[in-house]
Amino acid sequence: MNKESNQGPTQKTRLQLFDRHTQSSDRSRGKIIVLGLALLGLFCVGLGLLFYQQRPVKPTQRVVTAQPITLHTKAKYAIVIDAKTGQILGQKDANQLVGIASQTKMLTAYGVLRAVERGQIKWSDKVPINQHTDWSNKDSDTYAHLDIHAGQAIAVRALYGAMFTSSANDAALALAEYVKPKDKSQQAELQQWADELHLTGSKWYNAAGQVNRDAFDFEVKNAQPNAENKATVTQLATLAWQDLKMDPSLREYYQKLGLVYHPTPDVNKIAQTEYSKFKQQVLPNLHNADNFKFEGLKTGSTPDSGGAFTGLLKDRAGHELITVVSGAGRYTDQIERYQYTVDVANEVLEHTVPCTFTAGQTIAGAGTVVNSAVKTGKTAVVVQETKTYWVPKEAQSSNLGVYPPNKINQAPVKNGQRIVKLAPALKTEYIPNSQKTDRGLAMISTQNEATAAWWQRCFNWLFVYS
């Protein structure tokens, strides 16, 4: 009895200890399971990251090299670029500073477009003409100008158009004065615009492109009388490209046969345009077998640099090229600069072929983008805007590959929404101002897609994304 009594508590104690040990083991086992699951999750994430980071990005086709050809033109300096992407297609001494004369007005145009974009001025604003910008008493054959006088006011749009259609010097000077801060010189403002466009080393004195002594009230006193605005043909092509990017309607100006403007509300004036002279005197004398269409932009010439022209040309297939020729014959000649323009465009087409991606096109090997945020884990895409790239004829193919799109995590997705930019599989050169957004292909979605549930996102991220 006493022995059993003595054994009872001991057995009870052992049972309690056993229960405690069992509970402790269960807790430990639970911790091990949780830790194991956590480690497994980390392993999967690490594995996914490893695959994601180490997977090489290969283009859908081999990379094509397309360096600019050397132009064999009689012009001293020349360049040809694609008007949309800024790809340099051909060049000759393209980085030599030369006098640019009235081609300066493309920089003045940039200043106007910049001010309009920033809301600083409006196209309908009336620009006052003062004694400094009134050139009505000057010889119009030597100094192109409108018939406007001090005390009158002309709309920004009219003066802007006059720079391109009639090369009006008074229009350029009046616009520059209107746009710039009152406490800043015209020369300083021009230089700031040039710096914004990375026109390194270019020189600027007045907004009209006149030799310093012929700028009259805008002569820079601390510069030589014969100082002139200078830039390279690459920089002129950059200016034309930037102006067209900001104002596509520039294509319409060169087709005008007459410029109508209103010095006062009740007075209409009309001036002959450069295109009118071109159509009558130049076009019939050009050797233009490929029928390039001249769409703009600006002539310019100096006795030292000779004839020059920055042009926008369109070929039969609709491809647009920006061309610049300088030192293209005598500065008074009206034919050679245009003939050399046609010649350099022809030379480019003789040595290159266009590779065009059209709007709505599905690109082979890049028709979907991995998107972990949508249910299917992928978003179908097509080309948003038609773009052309140029490759050497010896590449023996007009097909060009692209680098596959980046993986994204974006939802919901709407039909027509821009998703990614694709880079062409092309090793080439572009003008300095052309950015990746200008060179690349914007891709848009083809359908609406809803946001995936959290577990679908995890699945996509671990298995589709990696």
Binding residues for substrate: 298
> Is 167 annotated as catalytic?
yes
Given 84, 105, 203, 230, the catalytic residue: 105
Cis bond before residue 412 (omega within 30° of 0): yes
Residues 329/317, Cβ–Cβ less than 8 Å: no
Among the listed residues 103, 173, 166, the one whose alpha carbon sits nearest the alpha carbon of residue 337: 103
Catalytic residue among 167, 202, 301, 466: 167
The answer to whether 202 is a known catalytic residue is no
Single out the catalytic residue among 84, 92, 102, 387: 102
Question: Which residue positions form the known binding site?
Answer: 298
Burial of 376 (0-12, 13-18, 19+ CB in 10 A): middle
Give the three-state DSSP class for 66: strand
* Rounded-to-integer distance, Cα 465 and Cα 373, Å: 10
- Among residues 209, 227, 190, 220, the alpha carbon closest in space to that of 105 is found at 209
Residue 171 to residue 248: CA distance in whole angstroms: 21
* Beta-carbon count within 10 A of 438 CB: 16
Cα–Cα distance for residue pair 249/140, rounded to 1 Å: 27
Query: Residue 47 CB: number of other CB atoms within 10 A?
Result: 12
Other C-beta atoms closer than 10 Å to the C-beta of 233 total 30
What positions carry a catalytic annotation?
102, 105, 167
